[in-house]
Amino acid sequence: MTTHAKPLIAPSVSRPRWRLSLFQRRNLWGLVFVLPAILFFAVFAYYPLARAVEFSFQNFNLLAPPRDVGWANYEFLLNNPRFQLILRNTFSYVVSFAVPVWIIGLMLALVFVQPFRGRAFYRTLYFVPVVLSETVISIVWRLIFHPEGMANGLLQPITGQSLPWLTSTTYAPLAVVIVSVWRVFGYYMIIFMTGLQNIPTEYYDAAKVDGATGVQAFRFVTLPLLRPTMIFVVIVTFLTAFQSFVYQLLITQGSPLDSTNVLGLYIYQEAFAHLRYGRAAAAAMILFAILLTLTLIQLILLRNRRDVS
Amino acid sequence: MRLKQMFRVGTMIAFTLILSSILSLRAQDRVVVNFWSHDYPARVIIDEELIAQFEAENPDIDIVYTVGPGDDVLYITQLLTALAGGQGPDLFNVVGVGVPDLIPSGAVVPVDVSQFGVDDQQAIIDLYAPGVLDSFMSEDGTLFALPTELGNYALYINTALFEAAGLDAEADAPATWEDILELAEILTVRDANGSITQRAFDFPYPLADEFNSRVIVMGGMAYQLGDGIVADDNLTVTLNGPGWVRTMEFVRNYAANYGGPQMPSAFTDFLQGKVAMIISGSWFEGVVAANNPALLESLIVAPFPRWAEGLVNDGGSYLYGYGLYVSAQASPEVQAAAWKFVNFISSFPERYYTEANLLQPRLSLLENDEVVNASFAAPFLRDMVGSPSLPLVKGGGEGEAVLGRAIEAVTLTNRPIQEILDEVTADFQASIDAAQ
């Protein structure tokens, strides 16, 4: 009698074409979930970016159809002394904004991580400017810097004269920096505080046992362990400073003699005041290149940090 | 019972369909004109009343009125974005010099004379003071718009400050720029430290709260000396001619001794009684009334000063115009309805002047002695004839900013004036060349 043994494992049956494997189904569901976000970015970020790249090679005033001009907008900008001045102003603004923000933010954070009476009140007080509107702040500070305003009222006994805060190429950039720093240092103070609170106290205890002074503990414990926070703060302050334009627009309008004009304001003026969207787009691309470089530096620094860890 | 209910529902649906069909047919009979304007509250009130009156007289036309931002830059951005997207208004008001490419780009259509009940555009031009509609015409002389406001600048004088200095404002009002220098010696008041506490006069420097135009004032001064903003070809920038150099020398000298951009804007200080004279438009009377009504009691207006020496053109300041334009994107019947409305709304120049201080220089207004003599209109209207219109130069929308940079360099540095003007001329020329 011949018997046919029943196979223990069913022979592989070819799956119908329309049926997906478990992994494929998972991937598909994943795609379905991220699709709204992809669409959102495609419509509101990537498409405008692509159009801006296209505009940067065109002359466009919104009225007549765009006209291709090749690299003319870039050539104009890179050879234009006024644009070069504005580019220098932008870098100068970024540094003179960012450095005080780091120093003031970190110093206040070091103060406010220590327990003392009224800490919450003072911390809130320093944070208040962050929640105020940039427009409101600009208008108020413009009044403060008015020739007969509060700044001169307070300083005149010391300086002996009324300082031209908004009409001098020396003081106007300083005035814009003062307003910008005043607005945000409270925010970075909180960021630094978070970083400081994440440093385990055992390290300080160990340093104390080893006889480290307060300065040495700060130099050899606080600063190295605060490095990720510091990298974040450095990059974010640079990125926001490069894009700054509200204070320059509302307080000085870039004057006098373009001393407070920065890339963000220049782009706004070219596009909306002078209706040169092509040149504005080219300037925006230059700003984009600067910001992209900064972001890449950030990624490299963070990766190096992870490698070290 | 069920049948009855179904019948009831069916009847209601049928009734609704019939009613909506009738309403949509009625709507189709009406021509809808979307009309945009920048915000100027006193004018908007008159606009709305006249729209209601027009719609009552023309039941087949609906005017849908939208008021945009009062700031020209914001308004123009919204307007052009809407036009570029095919969603723009059928009819709109805009300051011509802010959009110099509007007519050459083909975005607007010429005035439809048939809606004005005349045979040719000359009949419409003849309704206005000679030459004042130039800035609404294309290079070939075709008329594209009619003004909602056609302005120039004149000299506002605070008579109280003149009297305090022992002067008679009527008799001693400056007729020339040289007179202004002489009056500056008398009317400028300084404190013990030598700091100026009251200015005789000052220019509109590029300051955040200065609303008067530099091109209109300084351009007018240079024009009197024979220099325009561009040459007759409407392409070559002439901001570095001898008339401009002399104008800037005057400004530098005046700013160094009697005022300057380091001080608060003359616009705001005049309202506070700290400046005796400023140059501004007819609309400034409304600003005074809103901010310091008491000042109206001691206010008079004199014509825009002339140069005593070297006068070439006996004109006032430059003329600027807010015009009513009809979009080329509108259908022919909407365009016709829009022009019909423009004909209507531009027939009330007396109302716009007396209630909103805006000048529409129709001859009917110029010849209305009752209105002209009872107001500050006379110096403005007299100066209009013979004054130049701001040129509509393709790619030349930057004129105000360019001149602002020149004035800053003139007043805040010691650089040679000719060098400064050559530089801004080259800058402006490059922008215009790129747009051709």
Mutate one of B73, B195, B210 to test the A interface: name it (highest A CB count within 10 A).
Answer: B73
The answer to whether A246 and A180 have CB atoms below 8 angstroms apart is: no
- Which residues of A are less than 8 Å from B427 in CB distance? 82
Asked if the bond preceding B332 is cis, omega within 30° of 0, the reply is no
Residue B96 distance to chain A (closest CA, Å): 13
Place of tokens 């531009």: B346
Residue B409 distance to chain A (closest CA, Å): 7
Tell me: the pLDDT tens digits for B364-423?
A: 998 898 888 878 988 998 888 888 999 888 888 888 899 999 999 999 999 999 999 999
By percentage, how much of chain B surpasses pLDDT 70? 94
Please identify among residues 174-193 of chain B the ones whose CB lies closer than 8 Å to any CB of chain A.
193
Which of A64, A69, A148 comes nearest B264 by C-beta? A148
Average pLDDT over residues A239-264: 94
Does A144 contact B at CB distance below 8 Å? no
- Give dist(CA A5, CA B18) in Å, integer: 79
Average pLDDT over residues B112-131: 94
- Which residues of B are less than 8 Å from A252 in CB distance? 208
Does B56 contact A at CB distance below 8 Å? no
Residue B55 distance to chain A (closest CA, Å): 31
Which of B73, B195, B264 comes nearest A273 by C-beta? B73
Find, in chain B, the residue whose alpha carbon is nearest to that of A73: B434
User: Which two three-digit tokens encode residue B241?
Assistant: 């001619």
Does A66 contact B at CB distance below 8 Å? no
Residue A82 distance to chain B (closest CA, Å): 9
Mutate one of A57, A63, A171 to test the B interface: name it (highest B CB count within 10 A).
Answer: A63
User: Which two three-digit tokens encode residue B174?
Assistant: 């400056």
Q: What is the mean pLDDT of chain B?
A: 91
Find, in chain B, the residue whose alpha carbon is nearest to that of A170: B412
Residue B319 distance to chain A (closest CA, Å): 20
pLDDT of residue B29: 74
pLDDT of residue B26: 53
pLDDT of residue B33: 98
The answer to whether B183 and B201 have CB atoms below 8 angstroms apart is: yes
What are the strands, taking DSSP E only, across B383-429? none
Contacts (Cβ under 8 Å, ≥6 apart) of B196: B188, B189, B190, B258, B259, B263
- Which residues of B are less than 8 Å from A146 in CB distance? 264
Tell me: the pLDDT tens digits for A13-37?
A: 566 667 888 888 888 999 999 999 9
Residue A4's pLDDT band, with cuts at 50, 70 and 90, is low
pLDDT of residue B434: 83
The answer to whether B278 and B212 have CB atoms below 8 angstroms apart is: yes
Identify the burial level of A132 via C-beta atoms within 10 angstroms of its C-beta, where 0-12 means exposed, 13-18 middle and 19 or more buried.
exposed
- Give dist(CA A132, CA A139) in Å, integer: 12
The answer to whether A274 and B393 have CB atoms below 8 angstroms apart is: no
Output the CA torsion sign for A278, A280, A286, A291. negative
- Which residues of B are less than 8 Å from A275 in CB distance? 76, 80, 99, 101, 397
Tell me: the pLDDT tens digits for B319-352?
A: 999 999 999 999 999 999 999 999 999 999 999 9
CB pairs under 8 A between A and B: 83
Return the CA Rg of chain A: 28
Strongest mean pLDDT among A58-67, A266-275, B272-281: B272-281
Residue A248 distance to chain B (closest CA, Å): 11
pLDDT of residue A2: 47
pLDDT of residue A241: 95
- Give dist(CA A168, CA B377) in Å, integer: 38
- Which residues of A are less than 8 Å from B412 in CB distance? 167-169, 256-257
pLDDT of residue A1: 44
Average pLDDT over residues A64-75: 93
Please identify among residues 197-236 of chain B the ones whose CB lies closer than 8 Å to any CB of chain A.
206-208
Which of A63, A147, A167 comes nearest B105 by C-beta? A63
Closest CA to B396 of A254, A268, A273: A273
Residue A303's pLDDT band, with cuts at 50, 70 and 90, is confident
Average pLDDT over residues A229-237: 91
Does A269 contact B at CB distance below 8 Å? yes
pLDDT of residue A169: 92
pLDDT of residue A216: 93
**Yes or no, beta carbons of A273 and B262 under 8 Å apart:** no
* Coil vs helix vs strand at B252: helix
Average pLDDT over residues A208-221: 92
**Yes or no, beta carbons of A257 and B398 under 8 Å apart:** no
**Yes or no, beta carbons of B405 and A164 under 8 Å apart:** no
- Give dist(CA B203, CA A309) in Å, integer: 64
The answer to whether B153 and B363 have CB atoms below 8 angstroms apart is: no
Place of tokens 């320093």: A126
The answer to whether B356 and B336 have CB atoms below 8 angstroms apart is: no
The amino acid present at A251, given as its one-letter code, is I
Does B46 contact A at CB distance below 8 Å? no
Mutate one of B198, B412, B424, B428 to test the A interface: name it (highest A CB count within 10 A).
Answer: B412
- The order of strands in the sheet holding B275-281 is B189-190, B196-201, B275-281, B153-158, B299-302
Which of A59, A252, A253 comes nearest B435 by C-beta? A59
Residue B212 distance to chain A (closest CA, Å): 16
Find, in chain A, the residue whose alpha carbon is nearest to that of B268: A146
Partners of B189 in the β-ladder: B198
pLDDT of residue B113: 96
- Which residues of B are less than 8 Å from A76 in CB distance? 430, 434
User: Which two three-digit tokens encode residue B274?
Assistant: 């700290």
pLDDT of residue B210: 86
Does B20 contact A at CB distance below 8 Å? no
pLDDT of residue B143: 97
3-state DSSP of chain A: CCCCCCCCCCCCCCCCCCCCCHHHHHHHHHHHHHHHHHHHHHHHHHHHHHHHHHHCCEECCCCCCCEECCCHHHHHHHHCHHHHHHHHHHHHHHHHHHHHHHHHHHHHHHHHCCCCCCHHHHHHHHHHHHHCCHHHHHHHHHHHCCCCCHHHHHHHHHHCCCCCCCCCCCHHHHHHHHHHHHHHHHHHHHHHHHHHHCCCHHHHHHHHHCCCCHHHHHHHHHHHHCHHHHHHHHHHHHHHHHCCCHHHHHHHCCCCCCCCCCHHHHHHHHHHHCCCHHHHHHHHHHHHHHHHHHHHHHHHHHHHHHHHC
**Yes or no, beta carbons of B434 and A61 under 8 Å apart:** no
Does A267 contact B at CB distance below 8 Å? no
Does A147 contact B at CB distance below 8 Å? yes
Does A169 contact B at CB distance below 8 Å? yes
- Give dist(CA B282, CA B273) in Å, integer: 19
Asked if pLDDT for residue B16 goes beyond 70, the answer is no
Mutate one of B75, B79, B80 to test the A interface: name it (highest A CB count within 10 A).
Answer: B80
For A41, A50, A236, B177, the CA distances from A46, given in Å and listed in that order, are: 6, 6, 22, 57
Backbone angles phi, psi at A219, to 5 degrees: -70, -40
- Say how far residue A112 (Cα) sits from the centre of its chain: 24
**Yes or no, beta carbons of B107 and A258 under 8 Å apart:** no
- Give dist(CA B307, CA B223) in Å, integer: 10
Mutate one of B207, B407, B415 to test the A interface: name it (highest A CB count within 10 A).
Answer: B207
pLDDT of residue B24: 55
Find, in chain A, the residue whose alpha carbon is nearest to that of B399: A274
User: Which two three-digit tokens encode residue B420?
Assistant: 């400064």
Average pLDDT over residues B355-364: 92
- Which residues of A are less than 8 Å from B83 in CB distance? 62-63
Does A280 contact B at CB distance below 8 Å? no
- Give dist(CA B97, CA B393) in Å, integer: 8
The answer to whether B362 and B128 have CB atoms below 8 angstroms apart is: yes
By percentage, how much of chain A surpasses pLDDT 70? 93
Element containing residue B253 per DSSP (H, E): helix B242-258
